[in-house]
Chain A
Amino acid sequence: MDQQVNMYRKMLAAAVSSILLEHGFDTVEKECLGTLTEMIQAFISEVGNQSKNYCELSGRSEPLIADVVLGFVDMGFNFNSLDSYVKSGKHSVLPTLQTQQPQKQLSMLPAGTKQPLPSHIPQHLPQFPDPHAYVRTPTHKQPIIDYESVREKAAIQKKDIEKALTKFLAKTSPTHNLFDTDESNIFPLIACKPAYPPYLSALLPPGSDFRSRGLGL
């Protein structure tokens, strides 16, 4: 609503300003312009009210030009002079009103489709807000816990880890190539290097001891 009032007032203020320019004013104080705008607004509103009253008095729902003339008369305004005023001078034409773009904000906020009001709530009451405002939405996907996919995931994860580890090691250490050409070493083998004493890592592989400890040995 405010928006619209402001729009009308803006237009009225523009009209007042152009009239003032026609009459030779160069500047106007903001307060004066406001007052003048307020006055012309009050005037036009009053004329409209009067016209409506006359129209309703004669049993109509829409005012005719005669009703408007009577409204002017009631306000003590000579309607005929209006005609000459329009024809007399060259008035500057106000720019046509731009159709107001619907506010972008409105379209950004809604999320999802609004729920229609349930039947026990009168339809005139405000609509529900956007669903996200009141519906609880899980913030994460529910994990799938059937056996097959769990195993699948564990397998893939394990493989990925191993792949990443071996790839890293292969990149950071010397490698063997199974092929003759160097450029296509897509299956690099990490070069082996002797470890002394060789039996130690073979008989006691790292990671084996914690398991056996669990067996109470």
Chain B
Amino acid sequence: MRHISNISIPFWMRGLELFSNYHLAAALKVDPDNNAGELVVTIPSEAAHLVAEGTALRVGIEFSLEQPQGGIHFVVPPKEGTYAERGVHMFTYGHQNSSRLWFPCVDSFAETCTWKLEFTVDEEMTAVSNGDLIEICVETYHYSLNIPTCAPNISLAVGPFEIFVDPYMHEVTHFCLPNLLPLLKVTTRYMHEAFEFYEETLSNRYPYSCYKQVFVDETHEDFRSYATMSILSVNLLHSAVIIDQVYLTRRAMAQAIAEQFYGCFISMQNWSDMWLNKGISQYLCGLYCKKSFGNNEYREMIQSTLLDVVKYEEEFGGIVLDPSQPPAPLPVGANTPQTSQKTSEEKFYFFNKEPPHHVSNFLTNSYHWQQTRLSKNWKWPVGSHINQYKCLYLRQFFTVTGKDMAVFIDQWVRTGGHAKFHLTSVFNRKNTIELEIRQDATTSLGIRKYVGPLLVTLQELDGTFKHNLQIENTVVKADITCHSKSRRNKKKKIPLCTERSVDMDLSAMDDSPVLWIRLDPEMTLLRSVVIEQPDYQWQYQLRHERDVTAQMEAIVALERYPTPPTRLALTDTIENEQSYYKVRCRAAHCLTKVANAMVANWAGPPAMLAIFRKLFGSFAAPHIIRQNSFQNFQHYYLQKTIPLAMAGLRNTHGICPPEVIRFLLDLFKYNDNSKNRHSDNYYRAALVEALGNTVTPVVSVVSQGTPITAENLSADTKLILEEITRLLNLEKALPCYKYTVSVACLHAIRKLQKFGHLPSRPHLFKSYAAYGHFIDVRLAALECLVDFVKADGKWEDLQHVLDILENDPDPGLRHKLAALLIKNPPFKKAHRGRLDIPELVDRIWTSINCMLSHDTRLRCDLVDLYHTLYVKPSAPKPIPFLSDIKRAKSPTSISRDGPQPILMDTVECMNIEVVASEDKVKEEEIIDKKLLHQNQNRSISLIILFLCQEWVKVVR
């Protein structure tokens, strides 16, 4: 074992492969949906006649659970006082179906029954559980849930809660930990709107008789919905002076409520149906967000989600939402290799980290959704069996709309990957524009060929014109005759697609009457788009196209054109009060890059300095910032963003210009929040972050190896450090909301260490990472620690991190720490890193195999980590061969030593991440396009997007 040679590296890879098989086998053995389980009840012979007669046989299970490792989490702050004073509480948690961890049950979403629940608790405690509270007699809470519900949707929370009945909806009750009642009232002020919105949208009443929100500490995830109640993180609470958190919290609460409808009331039959519930609930929540936060916010969210999904798929392979069936066999030849195989592989995935498959599910959902919503014929499926599964959906859908969705589902739900279009255009003198749309990279990871209609929008001088193109091949050419004649000299207003007309300065144009081109502007497809058009067209698009997604695309594209007109367009966008604030912020960051690229001939003060002074400088003395007043929401975000963007500026020497540092220090100096109704904690955190971003690698005068002391710091660094230490120290006496400033300070200190201004030491981060600090601070410290381990860490430092990963009391933190490690691994695989030692591999392997039966999510995280560290990406091998080999193997149990050496030369290494992409369909047929109408596509793709987002979130 000591000697890890080249041969033994594949050995470990095989380890993961083998692990996945055994893991799958183990999972199937206890899968209630497969008629497998853990509890065998032998019917005594005396009762055998009852079975014979067919009468009911009641089985009672008495059990006690002591010191549970998972399933139930107890939060017990180690301090003096009674339970109530200390805020001691407990709640159930788990990844998907984990109820069997705390009571014996058929832990399947498919098995429903009604429930009667009784909880006896301490006098000062409140027990919150599913259903209606029937009575409280002598410290015993009786709950009854009459709607059939599956075991995974049963939950419990006990604690000295403060109780707040929603003033708008009396059936809703909120619970929070002691002393937090004021925050609870503020946080839940608008929650009833979500209920009203959903009921209105669905034209149906909320199915349950009550709803309870419990805010507890140390949650597994931010929120989790159970039947009639949801358990949310206490960290979602905020006071009225906080701005940023409001949006996150309202979204989380709205999502939890949406899952009451889809997920709790209507649950799923099979894991492969999960995408339906996830998709519909996220789509609903998205609609609510659209209503309360606005269309721009919504479109931007869709776009960023789409980008996330595209990025994920290109890195790890296509996401298949429903792996239960392969896409319908293709008429031509076709590979029908892996039906059963795929299912099981997916199953493995499911248990591991369920998200990937559910990505494509969105399609069906939205389709169905759209139709039902329009026709209003939809009723809640009533009956003893409320599980709604795909067949039902499809049947319903078919009944309502008369359309068959099979093709649609095959294309988007059962197949992973996205389309990638590359558009070029040439204007010829015959007043036509020749478009060429290519799909070149169809063989790359996560990308597949798309066949079907595609919308192209041309903005011409005379207005916006839509063209529906049929994509049938990898290369599609279309000649489109322009509606307008080129007439640059005529002054005329130009109509936009919003039916408004604007004046434009057309001097930059050449002969073409086309101002800009957009592909699939409504984001109906899961696609990535590369459009090539000259920079002035991008500038027009940024200035005049009113769709925020178009503006975002233009900003991204303009990074490649660092010219004075680009600079002007970006500056105008930042200053434009009509623009959406995220566009303005994004433009600021883009301007940083443009300015850096133009550094040689940049004239005048640093970019954005003038804008900032104009917007935020005081009237009498522009160099002094006004007293904070975050009344204008857009300005608040700009005020946070512009310093950050400016901090990224570099002069010809590659360092941050001194005037920018002085500007930032002045912002600290003159920051005055005394007259503000809102807290400036996020703003100050942004300033600290900006200060950290100005730091560039140290130019060493002294020779390497001499210790870094406070005396030989540069003057600027001293100023920066002084500011950071002062703010960090001040947080001890005057903390701010969620310690945002401390978090930013820790990151800045790590940055100073990383760039050689400070000695790189882990002690500070270790102490901040200890249990008992606020979770955000701990996570920031851990992030720094992980970064330190990667750069300079020794084995004991890594051990310290792993100790936290394995033993920390907070399950949510363990998961997030694992994500940090995966994102920033201690060494690169196959680089013979300092920390690449057998002990590490042993430790991870042991954890995966022996330690984490109660926490599947963390196990998956560790598998991911293992994969990141040790598994080489290689071309995926067709699975059937492997499976054959494996079948031949004797079922040795997995020991901590890993697989037996016999397997060494028989099995090729495999990348599990790649396995998912196996589902890529390599040959596709032209699909009947008439089926796919744009509208339907649209809402469907939205749901897909949400699903994908969910997946990406879980993975990241």
A→B interface (CB under 8 Å) = 146-148, 151-152, 154-156, 158-159, 162-163, 165-166, 169-170, 176, 178-181, 184-209, 211-212, 215, 217
Cβ of B739 within 8 Å of any chain A Cβ, yes or no, is yes
> In the complex, which of the residues A152, A187, A208 contacts B241, with contact meaning CB atoms closer than 8 Å?
A208
Cβ of B182 within 8 Å of any chain A Cβ, yes or no, is yes
Q: Which of A146, A200, A207 has the most CB of B within 10 A?
A: A200
**Distance in angstroms between the alpha carbons of A155 and B177 in the assembled complex:** 38
Task: Judge whether B749 and A165 touch: CB under 8 Å.
Answer: no
**Distance in angstroms between the alpha carbons of A181 and B710 in the assembled complex:** 9
Some 18 contacts from A to B, beta carbons below 8 A apart, are A146-B620, A155-B672, A163-B726, A178-B749, A178-B758, A179-B709, A180-B709, A184-B711, A185-B710, A198-B772, A199-B217, A199-B774, A199-B775, A200-B87, A201-B774, A208-B737, A209-B182, A215-B677
Instruction: Evaluate whether A162 and B726 lie within 8 angstroms (CB atoms) in the complex, with A147-B620, A194-B770 already known.
Output: yes
Task: Judge whether A203 and B79 touch: CB under 8 Å.
Answer: no
> In the complex, which of the residues A154, A176, A189, A208 contacts B239, with contact meaning CB atoms closer than 8 Å?
A208
Task: Judge whether B180 and A204 touch: CB under 8 Å.
Answer: yes
Cβ of B392 within 8 Å of any chain A Cβ, yes or no, is no
Q: Please give me the residue from chain B that is nearest to A175 by CB atom.
A: B729
> In the complex, which of the residues A148, A166, A179, A206 contacts B735, with contact meaning CB atoms closer than 8 Å?
A206
Cβ of B237 within 8 Å of any chain A Cβ, yes or no, is yes
Q: Please give me the residue from chain B that is nearest to A213 by CB atom.
A: B182
Q: Which of A152, A194, A203 has the most CB of B within 10 A?
A: A203
| Interfacial chain A residues near B729, Cβ < 8 Å | 166, 169-170, 188-190
Cβ of B235 within 8 Å of any chain A Cβ, yes or no, is yes
| Interfacial chain B residues near A170, Cβ < 8 Å | 729
Cβ of B153 within 8 Å of any chain A Cβ, yes or no, is no
Give the Cβ gap from B298 to chain A, nearest Cβ, in Å.
29
Task: Judge whether A196 and B79 touch: CB under 8 Å.
Answer: yes
**Distance in angstroms between the alpha carbons of A144 and B183 in the assembled complex:** 43
Q: Please give me the residue from chain B that is nearest to A209 by CB atom.
A: B182
Give the Cβ gap from A211 to chain B, nearest Cβ, in Å.
6
| Interfacial chain A residues near B86, Cβ < 8 Å | 196-197
> In the complex, which of the residues B183, B725, B763 contacts A204, with contact meaning CB atoms closer than 8 Å?
B183
Task: Judge whether B764 and A159 touch: CB under 8 Å.
Answer: no
Task: Judge whether B773 and A196 touch: CB under 8 Å.
Answer: no
| Interfacial chain B residues near A203, Cβ < 8 Å | 180, 183, 234-235, 237-239, 737-738
Task: Judge whether A204 and B774 touch: CB under 8 Å.
Answer: no
**Distance in angstroms between the alpha carbons of A192 and B742 in the assembled complex:** 11
Give the Cβ gap from B275 to chain A, nearest Cβ, in Å.
34
| Interfacial chain A residues near B382, Cβ < 8 Å | none
| Interfacial chain B residues near A196, Cβ < 8 Å | 77-79, 86, 772
**Distance in angstroms between the alpha carbons of A96 and B619 in the assembled complex:** 78
Task: Judge whether B710 and A184 touch: CB under 8 Å.
Answer: yes
Cβ of B761 within 8 Å of any chain A Cβ, yes or no, is yes
Give the Cβ gap from A181 to chain B, nearest Cβ, in Å.
6
CB contact list, B770-829 vs A, under 8 A: 770-777
**Distance in angstroms between the alpha carbons of A154 and B728 in the assembled complex:** 21
CB contact list, B595-624 vs A, under 8 A: 618-621, 624
Q: Please give me the residue from chain B that is nearest to A194 by CB atom.
A: B772
Q: Please give me the residue from chain A that is nearest to B235 by CB atom.
A: A199
**Distance in angstroms between the alpha carbons of A148 and B621 in the assembled complex:** 6
**Distance in angstroms between the alpha carbons of A163 and B722 in the assembled complex:** 10
> In the complex, which of the residues A180, A184, A186 contacts B761, with contact meaning CB atoms closer than 8 Å?
A180
The range of chain B's interface size is: 35 or more
Q: Please give me the residue from chain B that is nearest to A198 by CB atom.
A: B774
Give the Cβ gap from B52 to chain A, nearest Cβ, in Å.
58
**Distance in angstroms between the alpha carbons of A46 and B692 in the assembled complex:** 101
Residue-wise, chain B 721-762 has the 8 Å CB interface mask toward A (1 for contact) of: 110011011101111111100000000010000000011010
Q: Please give me the residue from chain B that is nearest to A214 by CB atom.
A: B677
> In the complex, which of the residues A180, A191, A195, A207 contacts B759, with contact meaning CB atoms closer than 8 Å?
A180
6 cross-chain pairs, A with B, having the tightest CB-CB distances, nearest first: A194-B772, A196-B77, A166-B729, A147-B620, A148-B621, A202-B774
**Distance in angstroms between the alpha carbons of A155 and B674 in the assembled complex:** 12
Q: Please give me the residue from chain B that is nearest to A167 by CB atom.
A: B729
**Distance in angstroms between the alpha carbons of A17 and B711 in the assembled complex:** 81
Task: Judge whether A187 and B618 touch: CB under 8 Å.
Answer: no
> In the complex, which of the residues B185, B241, B620, B772 contacts A148, with contact meaning CB atoms closer than 8 Å?
B620
**Distance in angstroms between the alpha carbons of A187 and B713 in the assembled complex:** 12
14 further interface pairs, Cβ-Cβ under 8 Å (given A198-B772, A203-B238): A147-B620, A148-B624, A152-B624, A162-B726, A178-B761, A189-B725, A189-B728, A189-B729, A194-B770, A196-B78, A199-B775, A203-B738, A206-B735, A209-B239
| Interfacial chain B residues near A165, Cβ < 8 Å | 730, 733
Residue-wise, chain B 540-564 has the 8 Å CB interface mask toward A (1 for contact) of: 0000000000000000000000000
| Interfacial chain B residues near A146, Cβ < 8 Å | 620
Task: Judge whether A211 and B618 touch: CB under 8 Å.
Answer: no
Give the Cβ gap from B668 to chain A, nearest Cβ, in Å.
9
Q: Please give me the residue from chain A that is nearest to B625 by CB atom.
A: A151
| Interfacial chain A residues near B183, Cβ < 8 Å | 203-204
| Interfacial chain A residues near B770, Cβ < 8 Å | 194
| Interfacial chain A residues near B735, Cβ < 8 Å | 201-202, 205-206
**Distance in angstroms between the alpha carbons of A185 and B75 in the assembled complex:** 38
Task: Judge whether B241 and A212 touch: CB under 8 Å.
Answer: yes
Give the Cβ gap from A97 to chain B, nearest Cβ, in Å.
69
Give the Cβ gap from B78 to chain A, nearest Cβ, in Å.
6
**Distance in angstroms between the alpha carbons of A209 and B182 in the assembled complex:** 9
Task: Judge whether B707 and A155 touch: CB under 8 Å.
Answer: no
Give the Cβ gap from A139 to chain B, nearest Cβ, in Å.
29
| Interfacial chain B residues near A217, Cβ < 8 Å | 182, 185-186, 240
| Interfacial chain A residues near B217, Cβ < 8 Å | 197-199
Task: Judge whether B773 and A151 touch: CB under 8 Å.
Answer: no
CB contact list, B917-931 vs A, under 8 A: none
| Interfacial chain B residues near A197, Cβ < 8 Å | 75, 77, 86-87, 177, 217
Task: Judge whether B725 and A187 touch: CB under 8 Å.
Answer: yes
**Distance in angstroms between the alpha carbons of A180 and B762 in the assembled complex:** 12
| Interfacial chain A residues near B620, Cβ < 8 Å | 146-148
Give the Cβ gap from A163 to chain B, nearest Cβ, in Å.
6
Q: Please give me the residue from chain A that is nearest to B236 by CB atom.
A: A203
| Interfacial chain B residues near A166, Cβ < 8 Å | 725-726, 729-730, 733
Cβ of B179 within 8 Å of any chain A Cβ, yes or no, is yes
Q: Please give me the residue from chain B that is nearest to A146 by CB atom.
A: B620
CB contact list, B176-225 vs A, under 8 A: 177, 179-180, 182-183, 185-186, 217
Give the Cβ gap from B724 to chain A, nearest Cβ, in Å.
8
Task: Judge whether B759 and A151 touch: CB under 8 Å.
Answer: no
**Distance in angstroms between the alpha carbons of A204 and B761 in the assembled complex:** 32
Q: Please give me the residue from chain B that is nearest to A201 by CB atom.
A: B735
Q: Which of B235, B725, B730, B771 has the most CB of A within 10 A?
A: B725
| Interfacial chain B residues near A148, Cβ < 8 Å | 620-621, 624
Instruction: Evaluate whether A155 and B670 lie within 8 angstroms (CB atoms) in the complex, with A179-B709, A187-B722, A203-B737 already known.
Output: yes
| Interfacial chain B residues near A195, Cβ < 8 Å | 772-773
**Distance in angstroms between the alpha carbons of A154 and B179 in the assembled complex:** 34
Task: Judge whether B734 and A184 touch: CB under 8 Å.
Answer: no
Cβ of B669 within 8 Å of any chain A Cβ, yes or no, is yes
| Interfacial chain A residues near B730, Cβ < 8 Å | 162, 165-166
**Distance in angstroms between the alpha carbons of A192 and B781 in the assembled complex:** 12
Cβ of B768 within 8 Å of any chain A Cβ, yes or no, is yes
Cβ of B708 within 8 Å of any chain A Cβ, yes or no, is yes
| Interfacial chain A residues near B239, Cβ < 8 Å | 203-204, 208-209, 212
**Distance in angstroms between the alpha carbons of A47 and B334 in the assembled complex:** 157
Give the Cβ gap from A189 to chain B, nearest Cβ, in Å.
6
**Distance in angstroms between the alpha carbons of A196 and B771 in the assembled complex:** 10
| Interfacial chain B residues near A152, Cβ < 8 Å | 624
Cβ of B767 within 8 Å of any chain A Cβ, yes or no, is yes
Q: Please give me the residue from chain A that is nearest to B742 by CB atom.
A: A192
Q: Please give me the residue from chain A that is nearest to B233 by CB atom.
A: A199
**Distance in angstroms between the alpha carbons of A215 and B772 in the assembled complex:** 32
Give the Cβ gap from B332 to chain A, nearest Cβ, in Å.
60
Give the Cβ gap from A175 to chain B, nearest Cβ, in Å.
9
Give the Cβ gap from A90 to chain B, nearest Cβ, in Å.
84
**Distance in angstroms between the alpha carbons of A146 and B761 in the assembled complex:** 47
